[in-house]
Structure 1
């Protein structure tokens, strides 16, 4: 952790000193300290961007919320840690606000903090950065090009650099039940970029449909190549933005892709991404119904986050609901989150829906889920997103044989 640069905002001198010593004990020595928001801003102006900002929320005058807003607007922190003795629901609301402003929230520290809790949060930052954020999120500070400056015609030339990774989904017994397809941009200079770093550009350039069909093809290609132990095709899930449903030939193109790869419709799940104010026209609903009648599965993604989730759940022919990581992380210590998940599982069972939970990152999360029901799970505790070849090896290793010997891989 020697390379980390951390800012501490804490108005209590003793607590500030203690946190500084905890960081040193964890091998972090590039530390900026501030007892006020103004001094924190001055330090950042002099010393530049930090990897992690530890923000005390409750302070006289300008408080941690002011600093969080400043960090978000100026892009001055890779992630934030909330420091407070406030109630859990207050911390959760602040976390949600920070994420809406574009910040990564590693978690919160209750006062007084301890060395182990600080280490856990810093390690999570390093783990996530190694996988999902291999390059700085502010390319303008480097010598390399800024992908946001690319014009639509230049973005067309990057299609060959779009790659698809797959994250496994398992049942509580540990058996693989499918994968979710997740797009990445293998940039020649900036490395592997995640959707948050380039998807807005793709949408603005009118390339969202092109990207979606690319991901669908790669997912069906994998499904055709991998068979589960029961000889069934590997189920794959692909994210679909509601605006794609406006295309008149959307159902026909999906069915054509299934036929082209020789994959049964039952192996494909379309995850409909939440869109504010999205109302499907009758012809769009008819298209989804045709896909469901053909055997495709339909999932409502990030259930409970969007404002119209319940209405959409009743209006559309969903076969699955997907609970986002915001409800799962830390569920073992948060009775409110556990209550939300338990309620969703009960509702899903009564509506005959499958449930997938995202963001299973610790054994505590897994145990808390097991105590509530038997959903399908995905998350870093199970496996990180990986390229198709790596996924095949991962599957083969779990079967105790090499990839070449696995009879259900071809």
Structure 2
């Protein structure tokens, strides 16, 4: 990590020294230090931007939130670690505020920190930089190699690819994969969604991208049916605007005939974006999709304006609990209550549940105490290219102990393919 440049904002001299030593222990030696916000701003002005800022929140004078706002406005650091003795609810609120301003929050920690914890978060930054982590990227406006606007009439499908993230039950049984869009750009290399989706939307190309993802999903499922005798359940995100199209369902049914797998193998994840009354055509499309046998999932459950109302009104078969409710679950009673309540409600409504963002053994074990959802996250597997997924599936089927943390699942149950 010698190439990392880090700023520490900390007004306690002992804590400052300890953090500096922890960074050195993680092979980070380019470190700026400041005991107040004004000094931090001055240091950044003199020595330039940093990769990561470690911010305390509570201090005399201007607080850590002021520095985070300054970093967001100037782009002098795109990632922060929030480290404070404040209550967990305050830490979570500060992290949410930072994200709303476009800052990547690598993590929040209550004092004291540790060498291992700091090292894990810095490694996370390196994964994001290298494109191997499925994390939000900095705004394209701050990127020195800003992407040009897309041509609304051009076909980009040959450059659009999918990465696949497995979903697994708490007993270790494979439940399917979700497709995540990537762009193999001829000039900029592999691009994550945060980098290119706004441009795709501005060019009116979201439908083209989505149909391309659906085709790749069903092709993979069908190829698994041919090669292994079992179709692979696949999930694809569907922009709500596509549900406005009267021909959406007929066109999807034609695609299902082209790749003859059962409609139940396809889950369409729909993000609820506003509390407005759903248009008749959207409502009808959702009903027809369920009547055809496709599965419907409420994506990012709990973050929209009227998710519970939509669950009561619409024919969903699954809800997805987003990562922000799961990270730190083991140490947060409020998150435990929210996730546990959602699982209980889903059970009573006969809905399946997928929990995203499961990254640690602690959060995995906390979920085990709450119910039996399907889990998705780095604890199981990172998003991967198709060739890597096929290897992963083969290993899962024949040597599950090599790819799953079986000691944390059920030692008496070997995962099975689908």
TM-score higher than 0.5: yes
Residue 212 of structure 1, CA deviation:
0.7
Residue 245 in structure 1 maps to residue 243 in structure 2: yes
SS in 2 for 1:385: coil
SS in 2 for 1:152: coil
Maintained 8 Å contact 1:82/1:107: yes
**Aligned counterpart, 2:212:** 214
Partners in 2 of 1:368 and 1:105 — Cα distance? Answer: 23
Residue 137 of structure 1, CA deviation:
4.3
Maintained 8 Å contact 2:140/2:195: no
Partners in 1 of 2:10 and 2:117 — Cα distance? Answer: 17
**Aligned counterpart, 1:404:** none
Residue 188 of structure 1, CA deviation:
2.4
- Please list every run of 5 or more consecutive structure 2 residues that lacks an aligned counterpart in the other structure: 400-415
**Aligned counterpart, 2:122:** 122
1:248/1:136 Cα in 2 relative to 1: closer, same or farther (>3 Å)? Answer: closer
1:222-371 maps to which residues of 2 (within 5 A)? Answer: 222-227=220-225, 231-371=229-369
**Aligned counterpart, 2:66:** 66
**Aligned counterpart, 1:400:** 398
> C-alpha offsets along residues 287-336 of structure 1, whole Å, 9 cap, x if unaligned?
11011011000000011112221122112111000000111111111121
> C-alpha offsets along residues 50-82 of structure 1, whole Å, 9 cap, x if unaligned?
221101111222211111112122222232111
> C-alpha offsets along residues 259-314 of structure 1, whole Å, 9 cap, x if unaligned?
11112111111100131344321222111101101100000001111222112211
1:9-48 maps to which residues of 2 (within 5 A)? Answer: 9-48=9-48
Maintained 8 Å contact 2:137/2:194: no
Partners in 1 of 2:106 and 2:135 — Cα distance? Answer: 17
1:249/1:140 Cα in 2 relative to 1: closer, same or farther (>3 Å)? Answer: closer
Partners in 2 of 1:192 and 1:103 — Cα distance? Answer: 21
C-alpha RMSD of the superposition = 2.5
Partners in 2 of 1:49 and 1:276 — Cα distance? Answer: 37
Range that drifts further, 123-132 or 27-36: 123-132
1:231/1:375 Cα in 2 relative to 1: closer, same or farther (>3 Å)? Answer: farther
Partners in 2 of 1:260 and 1:396 — Cα distance? Answer: 26
TM-score (norm 1): 0.91
Length, aligned pairs only: 401
1:190 to 188, 194, 197: 188
**Aligned counterpart, 1:86:** 86
**Aligned counterpart, 2:113:** 113
Partners in 1 of 2:373 and 2:154 — Cα distance? Answer: 40
> C-alpha offsets along residues 218-275 of structure 1, whole Å, 9 cap, x if unaligned?
1111111114999431111110111111111111111111111112111111100131
**Aligned counterpart, 2:149:** 150
1:135/1:158 Cα in 2 relative to 1: closer, same or farther (>3 Å)? Answer: farther
Maintained 8 Å contact 2:9/2:54: yes
SS in 2 for 1:96: helix
Partners in 1 of 2:381 and 2:150 — Cα distance? Answer: 35
**Aligned counterpart, 1:132:** 133
